[in-house]
Amino acid sequence: MTNQYHYTWEWDLNASPEALWNLVSDTNRFNRDTGLPPMQLLGIQNRVKRVKFKLPLINIIWDEEPFEWTYPYRFGILRRYQTGPLLEMRVDCRLERRDPSGTHLVYEVWATARNILGDIAIPLGIGIFSAKQFGAAFKSYDRLASNPDMRLAAAPGRNLNSNGSLRYRSLKERLKGGDRQTLERLYEYFQQADDLSIQRMRPYALADGWNLPRRAVLETFLHATREGILDMYWDLLCPECRGVAEDHKRLGDVRGQSHCDTCQINFDVNFDHNVEVIFRPNSSIRQVDASVEFCVGSPQRQPHIVFSLVVPPREELPFKTILSEGRYRLSASSLEGSQVLTAASTGPAQMDFHADAVGWTSDFLSIGLTPTIRLLNDTDFTQNFQLERVTWSDQAATAADVTTLQVFRDLFSSEVLRVGEEVSVGSMTLMFTDLRNSTKMYREIGDATAFGKVREHFDIVEQAVANEEGAIVKTMGDAVMAAFRKPVSAVRAIWNVQRELSARGIPPLTIKVGVHHGPCIVVNLNDRLDYFGSTVNIAARLPHFSAGGELILSGDIRNDPEVIEFLEKNAMPNSVSRFNGEIRGYDAAMEMWRVKI
């Protein structure tokens, strides 16, 4: 006969449920902090994970069901043990909002013993030891959540030994680039942050936590990598679960297709969608084992999913959640397609969602930011409902972000794709420039003087492009091809180029420019990253429509809200005009805009 044990612990904490959620629901960190050993994933079948960890004299193996959770109020997990003293364990954690502030945290455990060893281990291990460890962990998280300066270091201490500290200081002094304040914060982070925090260092997330400019932190990390302080990795993220499917130290190891073992799907790799650049300390500074895991699944592994809840057949489940403004997608495990939602402050405060034979509506539904939701399963099958944010986290420094920085191309010119590999980029702004009357200038002022003026022009363009977070892809004679992440960056860059050329008085040189935006592919051409596709072909032909001193914008660029705002503030009256141009190889005329600069 098996015995089941039930424990309930409660704590009153000062931080809000939203502030606590990222820490409390990070069960990888929680298991480490409460004394559990590292674990190993053995396999996945039908979303159930088989996991193992080793205790003295025994290996514990269990099947772990997917987590259920509702941000930021509840999560739970069920484990069925194949070996060891337990048959089953279920955990439920609830974060209840206190009035007027704070959180009442309730943590419940149901554990079933397999044998007499379990009848001894559960009361001692869970009832006494774990109760003490749980309380210490939650109180520690409360202190961290209540202090924004501490949130990025969940185990304060001195984690750099004397050799690592000396080497960091020595290498920092040799750096020829990088932001000094970022380097000081990085040193403090190496000292204070625990191993889990530095397994995947995300420069944008750190920048936000440090209240420093994202670009400054990212470029400093690139300089620090070049000098040997950091190591850079290219993580391929699954488009479904958004977990790390592959982790590569070299860009040349990235392929155009990948596979997610968790979701059991193949997917196309996309530079600006699911390739994230992350960093770790170089082993000479601080050792870190990125493979160590204390939990193979938790809400924090899928932070884009607001709730993941199981509803039995013919039952309903009411609950509350919190949404940010934006677009979401609701799905159910046995239904095709999904329901698209837009969260806004004006949306309804209550909403029902039915899983039934009719399926989802094609309408875009509006929902409030703090809604009460009721999930109704009108089918004869258990349904797993999930609500996920459609947009990816803007705290990810993507491969597209990094490879369009001039600093990256200058420092890591050898970081290219494998020859013959093609990787998509869903959105890229490309600028082509050319010089008008350069031949005439060579004839009038002599080859040496003219060549000096052309080189000066290249320096001006490169500096302006770099200042706008872009990169020179290549030069072709007197022409330049540059890449940017945002349309307005290209427009600002060329505006500054023309202003600098005029200020320096470099007659009779005038510049012709074209800017276009759209999808393309990244390839290795002559050992450098280059772009190909129809977007590139169109952008390359736009300068031909310029008479010199003019910027030619495609309709996609001109209609970008930031570009419209920039031109309204900077362009002279009547200097922007619309026309239709025919590009060789394309059947229909394109909308274009001519801007005198």
Helices (H), 309-446: 399-403, 406-411, 438-445
Q: Are 224 and 185 in contact (CB under 8 A)?
A: no
* pLDDT for res 477: 83
CA distance 595 to 567: 9
Q: How large is the average pLDDT for residues 200-224?
A: 95
* H/E stretch holding 255: none
Whole-number average pLDDT of the chain: 91
Range name among 28-37, 152-161, 305-314, 432-441 with the lowest pLDDT average: 152-161
Identity of the residue numbered 353: F
Q: Are 483 and 531 in contact (CB under 8 A)?
A: yes
Q: How large is the average pLDDT for residues 178-198?
A: 92
Q: Are 200 and 301 in contact (CB under 8 A)?
A: no
CA distance 432 to 461: 11
Beta bridge partners of 376: 316, 354
Res. 150 pLDDT band, cuts 50 70 90: low
CA distance 105 to 30: 15
Pick the closest to residue 423 from 562, 519, 561 (CA basis).
519
User: What pLDDT, in 10s, does the model give residues 444-485?
Assistant: 677 677 777 778 888 999 999 999 999 999 998 889 999 999
CATH of domain 4-150: 3.30.530.20
pLDDT at 153 over 60: no
Beta bridge partners of 340: 329
Q: Which two tokens stand for residue 374?
A: 């009721």
User: What pLDDT, in 10s, does the model give residues 300-351?
Assistant: 999 999 999 999 999 999 999 999 999 999 999 989 999 999 999 999 999 9
Instruction: For tokens 């870190």, name the residue.
Output: 288
Enumerate residues 6+ apart whose C-beta is below 8 A from 45. Answer: none
What is the C-alpha end-to-end distance of the chain, expressed in Å? 85
What are the residue ranges spanned by the domains of the chain?
A: 4-150, 162-299, 305-389, 416-596
User: What pLDDT, in 10s, does the model give residues 555-569?
Assistant: 999 999 999 999 999
* pLDDT for res 580: 93
Identity of the residue numbered 529: L
pTM: 0.89
**CATH architecture designation of domain 416-596:** 2-Layer Sandwich (3.30)
Kindly tell me the sign of the dihedral angle through the C-alpha atoms of 189, 193, 195, 201. Answer: negative
User: What pLDDT, in 10s, does the model give residues 264-295?
Assistant: 899 999 998 899 999 999 999 999 888 889 99
CA distance 486 to 561: 11
Instruction: Provide the Cα torsion 470, 471, 472, 474; round to 10°.
Output: -120
* pLDDT for res 341: 95
Distances in whole angstroms, Cα of residue 181 to Cα of each of 185, 186, 188, 489: 6, 9, 11, 25
Using DSSP, state whether 318 is helix, strand or coil.
strand
Per-residue exposure over 558-573, b if at least 16 CB sit within 10 Å of its own CB, e if not:
bebeebeebbeeebee
Per DSSP bridges, beta strands 58-64 and 365-367 are unpaired
* pLDDT for res 587: 77
Residues, the chain: 597
CA distance 342 to 462: 41
Using DSSP, state whether 522 is helix, strand or coil.
strand
Pick the closest to residue 360 from 324, 325, 385, 393 (CA basis).
385
